[in-house]
Chains A and B, each alone.
Chain A
């Protein structure tokens, strides 16, 4: 079955510290992986997708098929990164997103 696991509900760091939000998935085929972010009182928005291989707001994520992971990383966290982060996957034959339970990132000054 398709599944996305985010083991951490809450991650708290100080400004300038490195951040890694973990995401593991289970899927038998070739999924497409995403990171969505929800800032306070704002809508869900796409942060990254693995096929674009971009760095957005200093965040990167590498798809590791061997470990079935898509961890989100940033070397130096900023206070404005505080938000809810959801890892999600979709498959080739359907666009529906399967979300993880989300990780709340708190960056303290």
Chain B
């Protein structure tokens, strides 16, 4: 069965550069979530989208923005990268808009900022 796809899997950027992470949800899933997991830390919720509208927002820096497109894929744009942005970025998707529906996670994008 198709799972959540994230690209790229690995990304190396320098400070002050920009990065774009992509997430392709499971077909027919309408909700996308982004999480950030720093080294040795728990995943932290960043932002979520339901039917292409932002549905919730967590501890996402102002330097980051995200959107969900008409085909339900989502992109996380990160500007003015800092060393502290180095982390594993997970995307998850869920379907049918039902509260508490299971979130299926992608493999993550490992971002390294040098």
Chain A interface residues (CB < 8 Å from chain B) = 4, 32, 36, 42-46, 49, 51, 86, 90, 92, 94-102
B39 contacts A by Cβ under 8 Å: no
B68 contacts A by Cβ under 8 Å: no
B14 contacts A by Cβ under 8 Å: no
Chain B interface residues (CB < 8 Å from chain A) = 3-4, 31, 33, 35, 41-45, 48, 55-56, 58, 90, 92, 94, 99-108
Determine whether the beta carbon of B33 is less than 8 Å from that of A101: no
Known: A44-B90, A45-B104, A96-B33. 6 other contacts (CB 8 A): A43-B108, A45-B105, A92-B99, A97-B45, A97-B103, A102-B42
Task: Quote the shortest CB–CB distance from A9 to chain B (angstroms).
Answer: 9
Offer 25 A-B interface pairs, CB within 8 angstroms, sorted by A. Answer: A32-B100, A43-B3, A43-B4, A43-B106, A43-B107, A44-B43, A45-B104, A45-B105, A46-B103, A46-B104, A49-B100, A86-B43, A94-B56, A95-B33, A95-B48, A95-B55, A95-B99, A95-B100, A95-B101, A96-B58, A99-B43, A99-B44, A100-B42, A101-B41, A101-B42
Instruction: Point out the residues of chain B lying under 8 angstroms from A98, CB to CB.
Output: 45
Task: Quote the shortest CB–CB distance from B110 to chain A (angstroms).
Answer: 12
How far does the alpha carbon of A85 sit from the alpha carbon of B43 in the complex, in Å? 12
- Cβ-neighbour of A95 out of B3, B42, B44, B56 (below 8 A): B56
Instruction: Point out the residues of chain B lying under 8 angstroms from A94, CB to CB.
Output: 56
Determine whether the beta carbon of B105 is less than 8 Å from that of A96: no
Instruction: Point out the residues of chain A lying under 8 angstroms from B42, CB to CB.
Output: 4, 86, 99-102
Determine whether the beta carbon of B94 is less than 8 Å from that of A95: yes
B100's nearest neighbour on chain A, judged by CB, is: A32
How far does the alpha carbon of A92 sit from the alpha carbon of B98 in the complex, in Å? 11
Instruction: Point out the residues of chain B lying under 8 angstroms from A90, CB to CB.
Output: 100
